[in-house]
Amino acid sequence: MIASVLVANRGEIACRVFRTCREAGIATVAVHADPDAGALHVRSADTAVRLPGTTAAETYLRGDLVVRAALTAGADAVHPGYGFLSENAGFARAVTDAGLVWIGPPAEAIEAMASKTRAKRVMADAGVPLLAPLDPAGLTASDLPVLIKAAAGGGGRGMRVVRDLAVLEEELVSARAEAAASFGDGEVFVEPYVEGARHVEVQVLADTHGTVWTLGTRDCSLQRRHQKVVEEAPAPDLPDPVRAALTSAAETAARAIGYVGAGTVEFLLPTGGRGPCFLEMNTRLQVEHPVTEAVYGVDLVALQIRVAEGEALGAAPEPYGHAVEARLAAEGSLDRPVRRLRAGGPGLRLDAGYAEGDTVPPHYDPLLAKAIAWAPTRREAIRKLAHALEHAAIHGPHTNRDLLVRALRHPEFQAGAPDTGFLERNLPALTRPRDARLAALAAALAGAHAPGAWRNVPSQPQTKRYRSEPDGTEHEIRYHRTRDGLVPEDFPGVRVVSAVPGRVALETDGVTRTFEVTAYADGRVHVDSYALTALPRFPDPADRAAAEPGSLLAPMPGTVVRVADGIAIGEPVKAGQPLLWLEAMKMEHRVTAPVDGTLTALHATPGRQVETGETLAVVTETEENS
């Protein structure tokens, strides 16, 4: 019987495991890096152990420190969560060698699948269909496009699509560097990139008594930068023979490596009638596991613990209904604390890693929460989730909320199962700025309740200015106080029905809409799902003095990981030429020259921590282009 569990992770997944442990009467232990000292997962645990340092490499990826923490805190089991050390065979062995229970698969099974190149050889020997790797040295134009992938880890890191042989070597170098930084292993491989395919996976769960469950399929095709954004179960529009082939191949894969515990076998499903191709096996719990839990009515973490305690699984449950999950992630600047993160309702679940007052560190995954909706049908589940996200109170950092809502409501997604290129094809429409002018009017009127008398003579209007986030559009709002109430200027057809602090009702062409307005002392204003920043009425001239022309500013807090080889101050650069790479939120962001010109300043050095808006480099445009 497990009495105390240390979760070797942070954020949402640590909170998720702790929730099941509390329900089971199991004590909980958290570990934390210094930026996470006050994090939600630390506050959620019974005890916590500090891992001195800031970066993942100094803390969450130090297996020796995590094992020592478990022993120090008196834990008798370790749950790895996902990411970090969850698929590290050496860590699994270190846990069991220390006399602790490992809530995961055997180290040998992890080792067999830890390298995607080795995993493909194992699966080929077991008869599981797959895409064969390609030799980068022998590639020709006819092989394009190809996909570079990190042999270790996942989450889209160390992954590049190459459509031009001229950039192959550069992309290999970049992928190796990102893989080494993320997983401590710079090995990459190349395989064919299949256009228009679907990404479908099968949840497996196996015990030590020879039982292997295959808990249906999940579709994870909605991806941005090779990272999953929306997942659903079961995968829609799969013919019965294809579904049977997927689950059979997944069971074969699990049995081939003597798998125990929860895991996921991922497949690429090409168009044109070709059968599924094995991609990889994740020897851990997946981020998207809640959709399977919702459809099968199970708690996968509780089942992981039962299996680790040696219990038999018995008969597999039957599925019912449909579930959809959306990953709500912070984007852009992370210097704003989470002020509100609320969403709920019947058939809805929110797995959050942050609470009000928390700040999202730039050093780790930007996932704020996962919103999950279940309903008897796919159509109902999609509608419920889109509505919940649209009306959720999310105040603080910028998020991908608008992208998620638009993707869920897109006709192509609602009609059936889109392929992995869906977001790329539709990104301009899915990310276009919303017209926030009416929201800015509501923000202005909500603050117009200050005492003051109306004047029975013509007077200048009251003026307020706002900037909508994150697109930066500025709105100047003018309104008059009259004996009949507040009257906005330049809003034909709009009548103010009521305006009090926190709530404004506006009638537009006979239709009344009510806005919920929340204003904060630092000038941030949230109007329903719109985020605004109040601006001074008359801008300070000093604020207009922008950075030096040609300055390349850090788009978010992060760490400079690389500077391009061969660049030096005084040297010419071409527009679009990579100058340096910034790592933030576990992703590499390439900073390129904006114009043809000369590099006149370079303030970035590898390892340097930068904040949003810091100058990284300056490119002075050549006169003939200026």
CATH code, 558:
2.40.50.100
Q: Report pLDDT for 543.
A: 45
**Same domain? 566 vs 533:** no
> Which residue in 402, 375, 410, 371 sits closest to 469, CA to CA?
402
**Same domain? 442 vs 461:** yes
Distance CA 415, CA 421 (A): 16
**Minimum mean pLDDT among 27-41, 129-143, 282-296, 316-330: which range?**
129-143
Distance CA 85, CA 253 (A): 22
618, part of any domain: yes
pLDDT surpassing 90 at residue 546: no
- Given a contact cutoff of 8 angstroms between Cβ atoms, the answer to whether 345 and 564 are in contact is no
Which of these three, 161, 192, 223, is where a domain ends?
192
pLDDT surpassing 60 at residue 401: yes
358, part of any domain: yes
Q: Report pLDDT for 545.
A: 41
609, part of any domain: yes
Q: Report pLDDT for 365.
A: 86
**Same domain? 346 vs 231:** yes
CATH code, 96:
3.40.50.20
- Given a contact cutoff of 8 angstroms between Cβ atoms, the answer to whether 410 and 230 are in contact is no
Looking at per-residue pLDDT, the higher value among 543 and 588 belongs to 588
**Predicted confidence (pLDDT) per residue in 82-108, tens digit:** 989 999 999 999 999 999 999 999 999
Distance CA 499, CA 515 (A): 10
State the number of CA atoms in the 13 A half-sphere of 451 facing the CB. 0
Distance CA 341, CA 364 (A): 19
126, part of any domain: no
Compute the average pLDDT of residues 20-32: 98
**Same domain? 464 vs 427:** no
The model carries a pTM of: 0.87
**Same domain? 19 vs 73:** yes
Compute the average pLDDT of residues 328-354: 85
Secondary structure (3-state) at 381? helix
**Same domain? 306 vs 400:** yes
**Same domain? 393 vs 459:** no
pLDDT surpassing 60 at residue 418: yes
pLDDT surpassing 50 at residue 453: no
Helix then strand count (H, E) for the chain reads: 16, 34
CATH code, 311:
3.30.470.20
Which one of the listed residues 284, 327, 339, 401 is annotated catalytic? 284
Give the count of domains, the chain.
5
CATH code, 531:
3.30.700
pLDDT surpassing 50 at residue 436: yes
113, part of any domain: no
Q: Report pLDDT for 544.
A: 42
What lies within 8 Å, CB to CB, of 200 at 6+ separation is 217, 218, 219, 220, 221, 235, 238, 246, 266, 267, 268, 269, 276
- Given a contact cutoff of 8 angstroms between Cβ atoms, the answer to whether 148 and 180 are in contact is no
Structural domain including 164 reads 136-192
> With bands split at pLDDT 50, 70 and 90, how would you rate the model's confidence at 450?
low
Which of these three, 380, 415, 431, is where a domain ends?
431
Peptide bond into 234 cis (omega under 30): yes
Question: Average pLDDT, whole number, for the chain?
Answer: 90
**Predicted confidence (pLDDT) per residue in 245-292, tens digit:** 999 999 999 999 999 999 999 999 998 767 899 999 999 999 999 999
Compute the average pLDDT of residues 416-426: 90
pLDDT surpassing 70 at residue 538: no
> With bands split at pLDDT 50, 70 and 90, how would you rate the model's confidence at 364?
confident
What is the percent of the chain where pLDDT is above 70? 94
Distance CA 12, CA 16 (A): 6
Tokens of 389: 């996200």
> With bands split at pLDDT 50, 70 and 90, how would you rate the model's confidence at 208?
very high
> With bands split at pLDDT 50, 70 and 90, how would you rate the model's confidence at 576?
confident
**Same domain? 533 vs 565:** no
284 a catalytic residue: yes
212, part of any domain: yes
CATH code, 161:
3.30.1490.20
Angle at 200 between CA 116 and CA 294, to 5 degrees: 115
**Same domain? 356 vs 458:** no
Tokens 């984007």 map to which residue?
Answer: 331
Tokens 């999310």 map to which residue?
Answer: 394
Q: List, edge to edge, every strand of the sheet that includes 503-508.
A: 485-488, 474-482, 462-469, 530-535, 524-527, 511-519, 503-508, 494-500
66, part of any domain: yes
pLDDT surpassing 80 at residue 184: no
Distance CA 85, CA 6 (A): 13
128, part of any domain: no
pLDDT surpassing 60 at residue 547: no
**Same domain? 275 vs 422:** yes
Compute the average pLDDT of residues 563-579: 88
Distance CA 117, CA 125 (A): 13
Distance CA 314, CA 267 (A): 27
Distance CA 578, CA 564 (A): 7
Which of these three, 407, 431, 455, is where a domain ends?
431
Secondary structure (3-state) at 415? helix
**Same domain? 62 vs 200:** no
**Same domain? 324 vs 223:** yes
**Minimum mean pLDDT among 217-226, 331-340, 357-366, 447-456: which range?**
447-456
